Every structure is written in structure tokens, then in C-alpha cells.
Chain A
Amino acid sequence: MTDLAATDPLPKPKRDFLPALLPIILALAVLPLIGSGSSWVTLTVASLAMGMMIFIMASGLTLVFGLMDVLNFGHGAFIAVGAYVATLVLLPLAGWVQADSLLVNLAVLAPAALLAMAVSGALGLVVERVLILPVYGQHLKQILMTTGGLIVAEQALYALWGPQIIPLPLPTSLRGSFIIGDVAIAKYRLLAMLVGLVVFLAVQLVLNRTKIGLLIRAGVENREMVEALGYRIRQLFLGVFMVGSALAGFGGIMWALYREQVHASMGNDLTVLIFIVVIIGGLGSIGGCFIGALLVAMVANYGGFLVPKLALVSNILLMVAVLMWRPRGLYAVTSR
């Protein structure tokens, strides 16, 4: 311990840059393996786009856990609900979606996204009150309850919309790709990257620059202390849960447009991916979640290109490697 005079500024917390550099290191490391520069750019853009979408879906989950120690196995349901609700707007207005004008396309995408976020956020409110509140503080029951919620949500979607896959074509102006030299970059991937980046910055801004964000970060680190200071952390948590659900619903539309189809099983499929991302990043850490999402997407894309057979288990291998290095995830925020 070094002695500090009362007037000295507090020592700055050590910045841990190594995990943040991982995606860049990984991208550069595979460059010689891939050989062709143009396919490397295409793959990198694809992984960034995919990573951003996964981040949007996973960010809510990691905060929900970090803040209140709640394991939500039903997070995937919000993703599927968001995608289905979006079809309510996008399919009747198919004419607008097919119109060859970016403005008209966005005029139909924006309300679809808002509606999806509103509905999944409202569903989040219901789920928090009905499923999570009664079993608060009991992990085993939380897992069981939210798993039950996931089943019910998936089956309800089947019952309401039918079991078939709903095709969801991309808006016309977002189809195709920009060609720069011999590099092709799909327009939608660019949009997904931009949107993901905006969401990431917005979340960071809220967490680091506002009073609510300060409370959330404080709550993640030490819940009792925030409560002792007189803040109603339950209300805060409810808010975070709803925003997280809304973001998952938003990610659901992005993903559905990316795949150009909607199916109730997508929530279930993505749950596994999201869990891996959240574990890699460290539960409760937004930055870790962001890096984890990028890593997962990169490993999936590069791996799929280089060793297609390996791509099936690449996520697991990544998770094993990261956890061997840092058993509590890249950025361990919580003391739990």
C-alpha cells in the first residue's frame, strides 16, 4: 500500500485493455490464413454485423443478471415475440417494404421496430411480475420458472401464428451490396453494424453518464449498498428488465430480417448463442458482452470459412478457451 495524502486524487482504476483487443487480434491473425483480402473484408463485415445483432439481444440478459442475480432462461422468448410482432406491421404493408425508396422502407421499418420493442417490453413487465418476482433470490426456481415461460411463449406463438416459417423479405433498398473495388459489402449488414454500434454507444452513455446508469452500475457491484442508500432497486430492476426485453425484441426483428424468415424456434436457438456470449463476457458486464458477441460471431464466420466442420462446435471451443483463461468471463464485474 502506498500512502496517499488527503489532497491527492484517488488512484484511477486500472484499465484492462487486453480483452478489448482480442477481436482485433483475432481478425488480424486469421488474415494470412484466409489469404484473399476481399473475402477477409466480407467475412469481417459479416461477423461485425452478426456480432452487433447478438449484442443487442444479449445486453439485456447480462444486465438483468448482473443487477439482480436473476437467471432468465426465457430471454429468447422476447426475441421471437419481437420478430412476430414486426410481421404484423411488415406483412400488411408489403407494398411499402417492396418500394424502391429508402425513406419509404424506413417509414415502415421504424414503426415495426417500435411496436416490437413496445410489445416485448410490456411482456417483460408481465414476466417480471408474474414469473420472477415470486421466486426472487432462488436460482433453481428461477431457471425452472423461466424455462416454463419459454415453453409457454413458444407454444403460444405457434398457436397464434401457426407452426409454419413466415418469410420476411428484406426491404428493396436494403438488398444487394456496395461494391468497392473487388470487395462486396451487403447493405443490410452495414445497417446492422451501424444500428448495433448506436445501441452500444447509447447503452454505454446511459450507464456512464446518467444518474440511472450510475445506480445500475452501483447495483451490479453491490445491491445492498444501493438499497441502504434509499433507492428502490426493485423499481430500477423492473426498468432494466423491460428495456432488456425491448432490446431483445428489437434484436429479434434485426435477426429475422437478416435471415429473412420468422419462426418461433428462433428464440430457443438464439438462447444458446446468447448464453455463450454472456458467459464469455462476464455476467453483468456490457463491455464484455459486446466483445463476447463480436468474438462469437467472428469465430463462427472465420471458422465456417476455414474449417466448415469445426464451425459446429466452434462456439463451445471459444467458450472453453476464454473460461480457461478467465474463469469468470472477460470482465468480471460482480463479486458473485
Chain B
Amino acid sequence: MILSGDPPRSRVLAVLLVVIVATLALVPLLFPGAKAMNVATKICIFAALVASYDLLLGYTGSVSFAHTMFYGIGSYSIAIALYSMGPNWAAVATGVAAGLPLAMLLALAIGLFSLRVAAIFFAMITLAVASAFQVLASQLSWLTGGEDGRSFQLPELLRPGTVLIPKSVLGFDFNGRTLTYYLVFAGCVAMILALLRVVNSPFGRVLQAIRENRFRAEALGFRTVFHLTYANCLAAVVAASAGMLNALWLRYAGPDTSLSFSIMLDILLMVVIGGMGTMYGAIVGAAIFILAQNYLQALMNVASEAAASAGLPLLPGLLHPDRWLLWLGLLFIASVYFFPTGIVGRLRAGALK
């Protein structure tokens, strides 16, 4: 019921998902360190963000490069509201009330506009709009803080100093930070379950029909324009919500953390590695990618230094942690080529044998 009649359909995948979700749920208990908490939050937020992107890429088959724009709108609306109205819940509510409709309207505008033109332009137009938005956000510094972004204070209840349940009861400090974590966790779980519901509804079936053959879907009497635009708006709203949770956790919104093109690439990589058109792929992809990003880079650093001390040419530069995207890009090409169905697709195919 809760999985909308779309179970993982592979024992390995089911175990993997249970392990990921259980670990994320118990992170404050198991790994109370700041770094582990940050990594766990990032996994939650990106799982929801990637799932919403999967709705577009995997289920309707349209490539959008504007997804970070909606993520950024969410982040910035919370940040600007809390920055200008002070740390209270009314500000959070204002941010939500302003950000979600804004994201939806923009998605509607892009959707309707690019539907007027050839479908093939969609990826290019979203790329252009997203880059214009990024420039706009860094130039309107009176509103967005420019390149520095906006830092802000959270409402009293969510601050780390607020101890809700002392250590003696649960064995760890349940403070405002922990509460924020669970807020993020619950929000992301709710969003992913909602998306799972959407893609397994009749509406989701129509989206898949459009992906497979747009003309046939249209000939069957479905208004493809309506369905595509609707999916676009839905994805935008979820992405904006994920952005809001991200801003709440970081207590900051800036171009690097919420708008940059590299986040878009990360999302693409997670979707493809996890498996397009599966929803579960978002969770698996986000977890693997972010763990690798945080812990493999350290490994690359070691390797780079070892190569440098061994006097090898070129290798230290190639293995430098900043060149992490190089290897990721190669991995990306390889996975599009060899594993177009991603991890989830592979596991499901394995279970069918």
C-alpha cells in the first residue's frame, strides 16, 4: 500500500533500500558526528530531488537542465524570508508560501513556452533559462546576497542549542539539530512516497506512454501537453521543497550550494547511476553517489600524493581530488553506454532470471 503497489521486485534491491533507509533513520543515534549528519542529510535531500528529476527524465523522457533552478528557488525563498523577517515560523511559512507557487508558475511558463516550439528544443531552452536565472541570482545582490548568498538564523526550536530530550533518556542528545534532521528525513520520505504514488497512478502510466510513443498516446486521446506540463510543475514543486529543506539544514542559501551547474550534473549522474524510470534508483543513486563523493575524494587525495611522491608525470594532476568530476564523467558515459537501466534496472533484470 505504502509503496503504491510498486515493490522493489528484487531481493537484493529490497535489502539495499531497507539498509539505506534504516541507516538514515538512525544516523543521529549511530553516527552523531557533524560530518556524518551532513552526509546523511544530503543523501535524504538529494534522494527526493533526484526522484523528482526522475519523474521528468525517466518517466516522461524529457531532459531538463532547469531542475537546479527550482531547487534554488526553494532554497532562496526560505533564506530570503528568514533573513529579512527574522528567525520565526511566520518567516518559514512565508518562504514556503512564496517559493512553491513561484516554482510552479515558472515551470508552467517554461512548459507552455517550450511546448509551442519543437519538442527537441526543450533541453536547450531549459539550459538557457537556468543559466539566465543563475546570472540573475548572482547579480541581484540586494535580494540574494550575490555570490556570498544569504546566511540566516533558524527559529529557536531548530537550533542546536535547544535540548529537547537530554542525553540520559535516549543515549544521545536530541537537540534542535536532530529535530531538523528528522524534519528533513520525514519531508523527503513523504515526497518520495508521493512521487511513487504519482508514477504508479493512471497519470503516471500516461506519462510512460508519452515517453514510449508520443503520437500513439495522443492518438489514444490523451492530452499530452497537459500531462507533460503537469509533470513539469509537479517536479518543480518537489524540487523547490527539497531546496527549502536544504536551506533549513545549511542555514544558508548561495549560488554554489543551490544553483550551480555542477549540482545539475550531480543530479543527472545520480539518476543515471541509480536507474532511470524506477524512483528507487533515486535513493540508491543518491546514497552511493554522495557517499563516494565524500569518502572517495579523500582516497583520491592519498593516491594523488602517492603518485606525486613517486614522481609519476600527469597522474598527480589526474588524481587530484578536484578532478573528481573527470572520473565521474567517464563513469557517467560508461553507465549510459553499458548500463542504461542503472543499478536498479540491473538488479531487477537479475531477479527475473
Contacts and interface: CB of A to CB of B under 8 A. Distances in A.
A154 B63 CA distance: 21
Nearest to A328: B118
Contacts of A156: 326
Contacts of B333: 131, 145, 148-149, 152
B128 interface: yes
Contact of B63 (A143, A152, A275, A278): A143
Q: How large is the interface on A (under 10, 10 to 19, 20 to 34, 35 or more residues)?
A: 35 or more
Interface stretch (A100-108, A195-203, A297-305, A315-323): A315-323
A159 B318 contact: yes
A313 B128 CA distance: 10
A38 interface: no
A271 B261 CA distance: 13
Contact of B328 (A151, A159, A316): A151
Nearest to B261: A268
Contacts of A155: 323, 325-326, 329
Q: Most chain-B CB neighbours within 10 Å: which of A134, A140, A163?
A: A140
Interface in A68-101: 71, 73
A215 B132 CA distance: 38
Could you tell me the dominant secondary structure of chain B's interface residues? helix
Interface string A146-173: 0111011011101110110000000000
A71 B337 CA distance: 16
A29 to B, nearest CB: 23
Interface in A279-293: 279, 283
Interface string B244-276: 000000000000000001000100100010000
A111 interface: no
B46 interface: no
A312 B134 CA distance: 10
Interface in B37-89: 57, 61, 63
Given A155-B323, A327-B116, A71 B123 contact: yes
A151 B63 contact: no
Contacts of A279: 117, 121, 124-125
A272 B128 contact: yes
Interface in B159-196: none
B336 to A, nearest CB: 5
A144 interface: yes
* Of listed A73, A148, A328, residue having the most chain B CB within 10 A: A148
Interface in A113-134: 131, 134
Interface string B304-324: 000000000010011010110
A143 B272 CA distance: 12
B280 interface: no
Given A143-B123, A316-B129, A160 B336 contact: no
B337 A283 contact: no
B2 interface: no
Interface residues of B, number: 40
Nearest to A326: B117
B336 A145 contact: yes
B338 to A, nearest CB: 10
A313 B336 contact: no
Given A279-B124, A312-B132, A312-B139, A160 B326 contact: no
A147 B261 CA distance: 12
Contacts of A272: 127-128, 131
Contacts of B116: 323-324, 327
A141 interface: yes
Nearest to A143: B63
B11 to A, nearest CB: 29
Contact of B124 (A134, A275, A313, A327): A275
A331 to B, nearest CB: 14
A327 B323 CA distance: 41
A175 interface: no
Contacts of A316: 128-129, 132
Interface string B284-319: 000000000000000000000000000000100110
Contacts of A134: 337
A259 interface: no
A130 to B, nearest CB: 9
A276 interface: yes
Given A145-B336, A268-B261, A276 B128 contact: yes
Contacts of B325: 151, 154-155
A152 B326 contact: yes
Nearest to B324: A155
A336 interface: yes
Nearest to B326: A155
A37 B333 CA distance: 52
A229 B63 CA distance: 35
B127 A275 contact: yes
A139 interface: yes
11 contacts: A71-B123, A134-B337, A151-B325, A158-B323, A159-B314, A272-B131, A312-B136, A319-B125, A323-B113, A327-B116, A336-B118
Interface of B: 57, 61, 63, 113, 116-118, 120-121, 123-125, 127-129, 131-132, 135-136, 139, 261, 265, 268, 272, 314, 317-318, 320, 322-323, 325-326, 328-330, 332-333, 336-337, 340
Top-4 shortest CB links A-B: A155-B326, A151-B329, A152-B329, A148-B333
Given A149-B333, A158-B326, A279-B125, 11 more contacts: A141-B336, A147-B268, A152-B333, A155-B323, A159-B317, A159-B323, A272-B127, A272-B131, A276-B124, A276-B128, A312-B135
